[in-house]
Structure 1
Amino acid sequence: MQWVFLGIAIVAEIIATSALKASDGFTRPMPAALVVLGYGCSFYFLSLTLRTVPLGTAYAMWSGIGIVLISIVGWIMFGQRLDAAAIAGMALIVAGVLVINLLSKTAGH
């Protein structure tokens, strides 16, 4: 169940971060409200994850997967470009998350 909680936390963080961009510096009330709700939900479910998954592992996955997904959202929704260096960096982040989960004894499996 901890992985479901982490997945919900990641999705909520992606929604909140996307809304943060759309809030235009908190000048648009609906996106600003979604930011607060999304981050609240994200941190709540991340806290549930931390009951059984080590802090470093959970945070590496939450932030690493979040970085990649929010970059894709930025590209699709906001027309932001990703150059080769950005894509290579994100590939390294994904590789790091995979190493932690597949090879590390601290991943809490």
Structure 2
Amino acid sequence: MNAWIFLSLAIAFEVTGTFFLKLSSGFEKWQWGVASLAAYSLSFWMLAPAVKVIPVGIAYAIWSGCGIVAISMIGLFAFDERLSALQFGFIAMILIGAVGLNLSVQHG
């Protein structure tokens, strides 16, 4: 499987794990906590083959940056969390950085 597909899956599982972590309410709802740990485990399982091909710094920056953007939007819409204009601006810079890193890497 292509390293970029592994990285995309790693991002999806990381975001899912963070969503479940929020639902766990600090592990008070242990089922969501266990689901969170499972999703994080799958995220790392998918990240491992990605970093065999994609430089680790690039892969990690894209993984974490896309995760930040995605979970921020989920927080906004699913949990009614509010962000200031300045916070939106900084999140946009993270997204620009992740896209720029992706565009600067030879895809293979």
* TM-score, normalization by structure 2: 0.92
The aligned residue for residue 44 of structure 2 is: 43
Q: Distance in 1 between matches of 2:101 and 2:8?
A: 17
The aligned residue for residue 13 of structure 1 is: 14
Q: Distance in 1 between matches of 2:59 and 2:85?
A: 28
Give CA deviations for 1:3-22 in whole Å, capped at 9, x if unaligned. Answer: 11111100100110011111
Q: Distance in 2 between matches of 1:20 and 1:45?
A: 19
Structure 1 counterpart of 2:94, one-letter code: I
Aligned length: 106
Q: Which runs of 4+ in 1 moved over 2 A?
A: none
Q: What is the correspondence of 1:91-102 to structure 2 with a 5 Å cutoff? A: 91-102=92-103
Identity, in percent, stands at: 39
The answer to whether the Cα contact below 8 Å between 1:67 and 1:90 also exists between their aligned partners in 2 is: yes
Q: CA deviation at 1:98?
A: 2.1
Give CA deviations for 1:3-58 in whole Å, capped at 9, x if unaligned. Answer: 11111100100110011111111111221111110000001101110110000100
Q: Distance in 2 between matches of 1:97 and 1:64?
A: 6
Give me the CA root mean square deviation: 1.1
Q: What is the correspondence of 1:23-102 to structure 2 with a 5 Å cutoff? A: 23-102=24-103
Q: CA deviation at 1:108?
A: 4.3
Structure 2 counterpart of 1:15, one-letter code: T
Segments of structure 2 that go 5 or more residues without pairing to the other structure are: none
* TM-score, normalization by structure 1: 0.91
Structure 1 counterpart of 2:102, one-letter code: N
Rate the CA distance shift 1:108–1:54 in 2: closer, same or farther, 3 A. Answer: farther
Segments of structure 1 that go 5 or more residues without pairing to the other structure are: none
